[in-house]
Amino acid sequence: MHSTFRPDMLAIARWCAAAGWPVHPLAAGRKTPVRNCPTCAEPGHVHLGCPCISAGRWCHGFHAATTDPGRISARWANDKRSGVGVSCGPAGLVVIDIDAHAVPLPERERLLPGIHVHDGVDLTGLENGFHTLALLAALRREPDPATDPTTLRVRTPSGGMHVWYRAGAGRSWLCSTGSGRGRALAWQVDVRATGGYIVAPGTTTTAGTYTPVGDCRTPAPLPAWLDGELTRTGHLNTPSPAARSRLPPPSRARQAVAAGGGGRTAAARVLESVLADVASCSAVAQGAGFTARLNRAAFTLGGLVAAGHLAHHTAHDTLLAVAEHVRPGRHIRAATIVRNGLDAGTRRPLYPGGRS
């Protein structure tokens, strides 16, 4: 007779919190955060200033992460099936997320972004993130992080690996998706850091358990060579406080629209809806369709601008403010999406509720 091992999620959450890593619950059997409450799921609602977070509720995913023993005990004692997520930024963590997906190789320029892989190099046998990360390490004549016994490594249910490191004093890193065309360390190698979360070791989903490898259970300092590579590939988080202060909060845009129509006009409701759609990406580190949502919002606001409901500069700055809160550090990319979306939208005026 076989017994089924069920990890103690409360013990895992407490262990993480004791290490100084803020935690938040994941939906039972999944690696995504628990759902928001009905109020937080309403159009126009964002995590900034949300009373649920200040009241100790678990809406807004990693934004609600905590090390408070009382909150942690209350949650996992009452729901033993919830997994454990760790908010990387507040925890001071940068996690190298290695994937092993069976997909075709991309073009050579995407294998190691910023590093030319000559056509004469034989790529036979190169199949996944383990290989591209090992290749990057070999080029730098450094040890492969996937085989680093001095830091916490966690095998994922899909066959990948999470390599945990401490970000270092005064250092803050940004998330990436290694298989995408934007910021990346290597093909099939993601980075989880500020603005994201990582699944805690021991968490079990329907796909399996996140299992520690070897004996080490503590993250080592980020190696100097990886610090350099993350800086080279655009992962260093260097937001400009002055630039952020110039971006008006979404509420000012809502006020600008409402002032033109005597309160909650149809245009104001459209504005709140599209901003909420973009803001909803903040609860998920990746895979939320952020680019498409931001582009759709910019197109819609461009229509409101063309119809006279909103000033162009207000629409532009508001979209950038929301984008910066949702995906910190991607200002250049977001600015391009916003500019193109607004330009396209202004060619099609939008009159919610009919012409006035």
Please tell me whether residue 270 adopts helix, strand or coil conformation: helix
Q: Do residues 148 and 154 lie in contact, with contact meaning Cβ atoms separated by under 8 Å?
A: no
pLDDT in tens, the chain (356 residues): 334 445 789 999 999 999 999 999 999 889 999 888 888 888 777 777 788 887 888 888 898 899 999 999 998 988 888 999 999 999 999 999 999 998 999 888 889 998 888 888 888 889 999 999 999 999 999 999 999 999 999 999 999 999 999 998 778 898 985 444 567 899 999 999 998 999 999 999 999 999 999 999 999 999 999 999 999 998 988 654 443 443 344 554 445 454 444 334 677 778 878 887 787 776 555 566 788 888 899 999 888 888 888 788 778 878 887 887 777 766 667 778 888 888 888 888 887 766 54
Q: Do residues 65 and 57 lie in contact, with contact meaning Cβ atoms separated by under 8 Å?
A: no
Nearest residue to 21 via CA among 106, 95, 104: 95
Element (H, E) at 43: none
Give me 249's structure tokens: 């909060």
